[in-house]
Amino acid sequence: MKTIKTAKYIRISEKWSDSPGEIYIELAPGPEGEVYDITNDKNLSRVISSAIYKILPQGLRTLERTDSNIEMAIDFSSSGYSSPGSMYGPAETSYPPESDEERKVTSVSILLNGKFIGSLPDELNAFVQQEYQKEIDKA
């Protein structure tokens, strides 16, 4: 008789912390003085629009120039874990697949024709997070 020893219960999981990510949003002037998000077809809130105008060299006029390409780069970090689960073996050691992830905006930069011109204040990261949560989760 041959005896083979194996690990009975192996739980494999993957954890990550502060993994960086970034999305880009193309901007244009909105019809009522706010900043318009061309990428996602929506107007930005007055709070975010106002902060962007303060960074642009000539405010709204910079957005209105047809030769200007203005983007908002949203940097975020991702932390979480993923476990494939274990569907084999005794019921007391089996468990379904599980995962959890949290993504948090770390900074928001404004780019003019591909060049960095400034960042939104860190206090606005929560507003940007709320405005773009769906897009951040998809990235």
Average pLDDT estimate for 62-69:
70
Mean predicted lDDT score pLDDT of the chain: 81
Task: Indicate if the pLDDT at residue 74 is higher than 90.
Answer: yes
Amino acid 85: pLDDT: 76
Taking only the tens place, the pLDDT of each residue in 1-56 is 333 333 444 444 588 788 888 999 999 887 777 889 999 999 999 899 889 988 88
DSSP letters for the chain: -------S-----EEEEEEEEEEEEEEEE-TTSSEEETTTTEEPPHHHHHHHHHHSTTTHHHHH-TT--EEEEEEEEEEEEEE--B-SS-GGG-B--EEEEEEEEEEEEEEETTEEEEE--GGGHHHHHHHHHHHHHH-
